[in-house]
Each structure stands twice: as C-alpha cells, then as structure tokens.
Amino acid sequence: MELFLNIDAWVALLTLTFLEIILGIDNIIFISISANKLPKEQQKKATILGLSLAMITRILLLFSVSYLIALKDPFIIINNSWLETGITGQSIILVLGGLFLLYKSTSEIHHKMEKTTNTNSNKNPKTNTFSKIIVQIILIDIVFSFDSILTAVGMTNGIDGALTIMILAVIISMIIMMIFANSVSNFVNNNPTIQMLALSFLILIGFMLIAEGAHLSHLKIFNKSVGAIPKGYLYFAITFSLVVEALNMKIRKTKKS
C-alpha cells in the first residue's frame, strides 16, 4: 500500500491506463470485425473473451518482461554491399504481426467488396467457427500486446513498484474497454463506411509495424536506413479521417430527415 502514497505512482498509473486504452482501440476494432462473422448470439461472447485473452496475454508478457528486453539483441546479422541488418526477436514479431494485419485487412476489404457486388450470388459463404475466430483474435492480441507492453516498460522505468503499476493499468484499461466494447462493435458494424475506414486504419498500422520492425533490426538498403514511422502522424491521420467521416455522417443524416 505504500506504493500508492507516492504521487509519481498515481501519475504513472493514470497515464499508463489512458495509453493502454488508446493503444487498445485498434485491438477492439479488429476483434469487432472478426466477431461480426459469427452468429449474433456469439458475437458479444467472442468480444469479451477476446479482450479477456488480451488482458491475460499482457499480464503474462509483463512477468516475462526481462525476456522481452533480451529480444532486442540480434541473433542473425547480415552485412554485404547492399544490405545491412541485425535481425532481433522484436523485429520478427512486429514484421510478422504487420504482415498478418495486412493480409487480414485486405482480405476483409476484398470479401466486403465481393459481397457488395455479388449480393444475388448463390455461393455459400465461408463458415467461420467460434474457435477459428478466437485463434485469429489470440494471434493479433499477441502483436498488439507486445507493442503495448514495451510502451508500459518504457514509461515506468525507474519507478518503484513498476510491475504492480503496469498490471493494474492493464486490468483497469481492459475493464473499461469491456464496458464500451459492445457499443464500439455495434457502431462499427452498423456503419459500413466506418468499417471500411477501420480496415484501412489496420492496413496503415500493419505498414507501421513492418517499418518499426525493420527499424529495430537497423535495416539498411544501399546504405539507406529504414526509419520508424512516428505514431503521432498515424494517430493524427486516423483522428482527421474520423472527424471527416463524422461530418459526412451528420450531413447524410440531415438529408434523410
């Protein structure tokens, strides 16, 4: 209890909780889109289970934080006339996660476009079992959790009781997200334009993860380094797009009334 007599601990907890919620929004969007493929009665269960698994994943990763830090060390080094890199565990996880997001997002967009242009088709849609959707959610949870935990470690470095603060921040943020997840899910799934925008955001995030993975491995191609994409640019682009779409939705609503 002495930990929470320290004002720095409270500031760190509140700030980290807020950041965990912000970093978890893209996770909620992915879970919502995946869960939407299930029957209506299973969607809420899949969403809550997905967020619960994300919370467990992050807590487990927190306990193995020393191993995560060790993943920064390169285990494969390539150095020739046109390519230089030191491949690390972190870079592999981020690149694979980015590729997975690109694949899932583009395939979802293709599926929705195909569904729109072939509404009268007699083709049977692919069946999506509950377990298949949960496996997809677990895979993406690991990727998003990895980025979230590294952020948490960097923020609480040097603070007494850092592990306790990080675990509490994860639990509080996940509870808040569980409360609003159903509303976010319904809003995204009931608005096709928002859903397409969300999938486009996931493509952006996928590219960002790949670039960050290349940056962490110090990739150089013809002596040109690959830099990480500042997340502020990404969040600004997402916020700006959402504001524009919100104005469009308001205009459409006004015209209907």
Averaged pLDDT score across all residues of the chain: 76
Q: What is the pLDDT of residues 172-227, one digit of tens each?
A: 888 888 888 777 777 776 777 777 787 787 788 788 878 888 888 888 888 888 87
Q: What is the pLDDT of residues 111-132, one digit of tens each?
A: 777 766 655 444 444 556 788 8
Q: What letter does residue 2 receive in the DSSP assignment?
A: G
Model confidence, pTM: 0.63
Residue 154's pLDDT is 58
% of the chain with per-residue pLDDT over 90: 0
Q: Please write down the long-range contacts of 35-41, taking CB distance under 8 Å and 24 or more positions apart.
A: 35/133, 35/137, 35/185, 36/185, 36/189, 37/128, 37/133, 38/128, 38/130, 38/133
Q: What letter does residue 83 receive in the DSSP assignment?
A: E
Residue pair 212/94 in contact (Cβ under 8 Å)? The answer is: yes
% of the chain with per-residue pLDDT over 70: 81
